Amino acid sequence: VEGSEGRESGYWRLSKLAVPARDDPGKDFTGISLPLLQAIAKAIKFPVASMLPDEVFTVIRKSFDARKVLKEPQFTYTVDMDVKKLLDMEPRAWDFIARLEPKLGAVEYMPKEKLASDLVSMLNASNKGYDHELGIRDTHNGSICPQDKKPRVAVIGSGPSGLFASLVLGELGADVTLLERGQPVEQRGRDIGALAVRRILQSESNFCFGEGGAGTWSDGKLVTRIGRNTDGVQAVMQTFVHFGAPPNILVDGKPHLGTDKLVPLLRNFRHHLRELGVTIRFNARVDDLIVEDRQVKGIVVSDSELRPGSGSQKLSFDAVVLAVGHSARDTYNMLQQHNVDMSPKSFAYPVTLFFSPAYLKKARVGLRIEHPQELINSIQYSELAAEVQKGRGRIPVADYKIVKSVGEKNAEELDIAEQSRSCYSFCMCPGGQVVLTSTDPSELCINGMSFSRRASKWANSALVVTVSSHDFKPFRSHGPLAGVEFQREFERRAAVMGGGNFVVPAQRVTDFISNRLSVTTLPPSSYRLGVRPSKLHELFPPYITEALQQSIIMIDREMPGFFAKEALLHGVETRTSSPLQISRYGETYESTSLQGLYPIGEGAGYAGGILSAAVDEKCPQKQPIKYASENLRHN
C-alpha cells in the first residue's frame, strides 16, 4: 500500500482513546482492558476488538475526564502499539495498519527511536554508563572527571533542584558537598509534628526548610507546564520511580505522590547520593560566599542555630550551585550584599541572554480556599461523585484548575502589558489539608498538602492574583528584594489578623464577597492551629481583593456551588512563586555577576514546582546529562 513502506516495525501512538468511566476498571488500573481494546479497534478501524492481542499495547497516559461538555465522564488513554509484535501475532492486522495515515490527529506513526516512552534506550545511546533499567547513571563507569582533577562543587539546598544537581554532578564524578540548613526527613517529620501539635516553629526545620525542600510535606503533584514528555521530565520521573515512587506516576495524567510516598523516596535518594560519594551535611546553613575578584572561592557555613556554640566554618570550592528555594530570604540578603545581579519578578530581561516565556512569569499572591471534598466531587462529577469513596474508589478524588482574567479597572495606573490580571487556582490539593509554611513566627503564610490517598474530607486550593514589579513600587527602596518585602508585608498583616500563635485569619467566601466579617461560626477547617474570623477583604490592597472577588463569581458560573457558605478562605498565600530572579547566562547557568556561582531552581526564579525545579527549565530536550557534562568540562 502506498506510503506504508518501513512501517512493518516501529510504533503507532494512539491518543484520545476514550473509555466511558462506567466500563473502565478504574483509576489504578494501567493495563489493557477489553473496553480499551474496543476503543483501539475503533481508532485503527479493526473489526473485532477481541482479536487484538493485548501484549502489543502499552498504556502511556491515562487521565480521568469529567468535563461537562462530554456526554458522560470517561478515562482518556494514550497507547503505543508495537507494529512488529502485532503483525507476528495477528498478520491480518496489516490490512488495517497499512491504511493508517502516518499522522492523523489522534493516530501517529513513530519510528522506534523517536519514542519518548523509550527514554531509557535513548539515554543508553547518548550516555555511556547509564543504567538501562533504572534510568540513572552507573556510578563508577560514567565519571568524566579524572580522579586527580575532580572539581569540588558545593550544592546549597536539598530541594528537588539541589538533589538533582547533586545527582548529576556526582554521576559525572565531581566532588560534591550538599549543604542543607534543615534536618533530614526523619527529624524534620518530628519538628513538623511539634509545630502542628505544640505550636513550636523551628526556624531551620519546617514546611519550607529541610531535606527534600519545600515540596516534601506537600501534595506531591508531579505536573508541569514544561512538557511532560520532554526527556528531562521523563528522566526525573524515572528517577523518582527508581527511588520508590509508584510506577503509575509515569502513566497517570495527573500524577501525585503525597507526603507518605515522598518521605521514603527522599531517604532512598539520600542513600544513593552517599553511595555515589556525595557528602551530605544537614543543619548546615550557608551564610556567606567567599568572593575574590568577582569569583566565588568558597562558602561560610554555620550550624550554630541548631547546635549552639559550634560557630561557622569556611570551606573552599571550585563552584557553588545555589538551590535555596524562595523562602531563604536571609540568603537573598547575603546575595544582595555581594551585588549579585537580581531583579524583582517580571522586570524585563535582555532578550538575547534570557529569553524564555517562563522567565517572564509574574509573581502572585492571594488566599487559600477550602471546601468540603464531597461538595467539589458533586460539582465536578454529579452522580458519579458517589464512586469516589475517599480515594479508594475507581474514580479519582475531584480537583479543579481555573484561570480567569479580571479587572481592567486599574488600567490607567498600569503599563500596557499589565492592564488585566490573571486570577487562578494554584496547587489544588484534593483530599488534603491547609498547612503553615511560615519560617518566621512574626509572619504567616500557608499552603496545602495531602497524603497519597487524598482521603481527607477537605479540598483546598490557592486562589492567586498575578502581581508585578509595578505593584512592588512602595518597596522600591529594597531594590531587587522589593518583591520579597511585598510578600512579607501581607504575611505580617496576616499574622496580626490571626492574633498570633499561628492562628490563621479566615472568612466565609460569601462574606468576603460582601466585604463583611463572618459573624456566625465559621465552617470547619483542616488547618490544625486554629482559624479566626477576620476581615480578609481588608488584608490586600483593593486591586487584589477586587480581582479575587470578581474571579470567585466567575468561577461559580463555571462550577456552580463553588461560591458556597461552607467555603472558607484562609490568609495568606504569598509564596507560590519566586518574587525575584537571579540573572544567569542561558548556556552555562553561571551567574552574570559572580563567576563560579550557579543559581538554579525556584529560588533563582527558573522554576515553579517540584518537577520544573528538578529539571530546571533550560535543561535541553535531548541529552540532559551530556549537556551537564559539557558544562562541567567547560567550567
Measured over the CA atoms of residue 405, residue 408, residue 412 and residue 413, the dihedral's sign is: negative
**Quick one: which segment of 2-10, 304-312, 325-333, 583-591 binds ligand FAD (CB under 6 A)?**
325-333
Task: In whole angstroms, give the CA distance from residue 195 to residue 207.
Answer: 10
Q: Name residues whose C-beta falls within 8 Å of residue 292's C-beta, 6 or more positions apart in sequence.
A: none
In this chain, which stretch among 65-73, 116-124, 190-198, 208-216 interacts with ligand FAD, using CB under 6 A? 208-216
Closer residue to ligand FAD, CB minimum distance, 19 or 445: 445
Provide the minimum distance between the beta carbon of 414 and ligand FAD in the complex, in angstroms, as a whole number: 28
CA 26 from centroid of its chain's CA atoms: 25
Q: Select 208 or 568, whichever has its Cβ closest to ligand FAD.
A: 208
Q: Which stretch binds ligand FAD (CB under 6 A): 74-82, 166-174, 393-401, 595-603?
A: 595-603
Q: Does 191 bind ligand FAD (CB under 6 A)?
A: no
Count of alpha carbons within 13 Å of 216, Cβ hemisphere only?
31
Under the binding rule (CB under 6 A), the answer on residue 157 touching ligand FAD is: yes
Among 184, 298, 325, 366, binds ligand FAD (CB under 6 A): 325
| Residue 285 interacting with ligand FAD (CB under 6 A) | yes
Told to check if 172 binds ligand FAD by CB under 6 A, we report: no
Per CB under 6 A, the list member of 35, 173, 213, 480 interacting with ligand FAD is 213
Question: Distances from the Cα of 324 to the Cαs of 90, 148, 212, 297, in angstroms?
Answer: 55, 30, 11, 18
Decide: is 366 part of the binding site for ligand FAD (CB under 6 A). no
Q: Which stretch binds ligand FAD (CB under 6 A): 35-43, 406-414, 498-506, 610-618?
A: 610-618
Q: Out of 24, 175, 219, 252, which residue is the one contacting ligand FAD (CB under 6 A)?
A: 219
- 602 sits near ligand FAD (criterion: CB under 6 A): yes
Q: Does the protein bind ligand FAD through residue 209 (CB under 6 A)?
A: yes
The answer to whether 315 and 155 have CB atoms below 8 angstroms apart is no
Contact indicator for 172, 118 with CB cutoff of 8 Å: no
> How many CB atoms lie under 10 A from the CB of residue 306?
19
Sheet harboring 568-573: ordered strands across?
403-406, 421-429, 458-467, 363-372, 568-573, 504-508, 531-533
Q: Which range, of 167-175, 176-184, 270-278, 368-376, touches ligand FAD by CB under 6 A?
A: 176-184
Binding of ligand FAD by 609 (CB under 6 A): yes
Q: How many CB atoms lie within 10 A of CB 17?
A: 25
Closest distance of CB 562 from ligand FAD, Å: 21
Do residues 395 and 387 make contact, with C-beta atoms less than 8 angstroms apart?
yes
Residue whose CB is less far from ligand FAD, 221 or 272? 221
User: Which member of 36, 60, 155, 449 binds ligand FAD (CB under 6 A)?
Assistant: 449
- Residue 276: closest CA among 175, 400, 355, 205: 175
Of 361-369, 460-468, 563-571, 604-612, which segment contacts ligand FAD by CB under 6 A? Answer: 604-612
Cell of 434: 491547609
> What are the angstrom distances between the C-alpha of 182 and each of 196, 209, 214, 219, 306?
18, 5, 11, 20, 9
Does 607 help bind ligand FAD (rule: CB under 6 A)?
yes
Counting Cα atoms < 13 Å in the Cβ hemisphere of 197 gives 6
What ranges in 134-211 are assigned the alpha helix state H? 160-171, 185-198
The C-alpha atoms of residue 161 and residue 177 are separated, in whole angstroms, by 14
Among 180, 231, 303, 590, binds ligand FAD (CB under 6 A): 180
The count of chain residues that interact with ligand FAD, using the rule CB under 6 A, is 44
- Candidate list 497, 555, 610, 619; residue touching ligand FAD; CB under 6 A: 610
Closest CA to 115 of 190, 11, 32, 197: 11
Q: Quick one: 215 or 232, whose CB is closer to ligand FAD?
A: 215
Query: Interface residues with ligand FAD (CB under 6 A)?
Result: 156-162, 179-182, 207-210, 213-215, 217-221, 285-286, 323-325, 328, 331, 427, 435, 437, 447, 449, 601-603, 607-611, 613
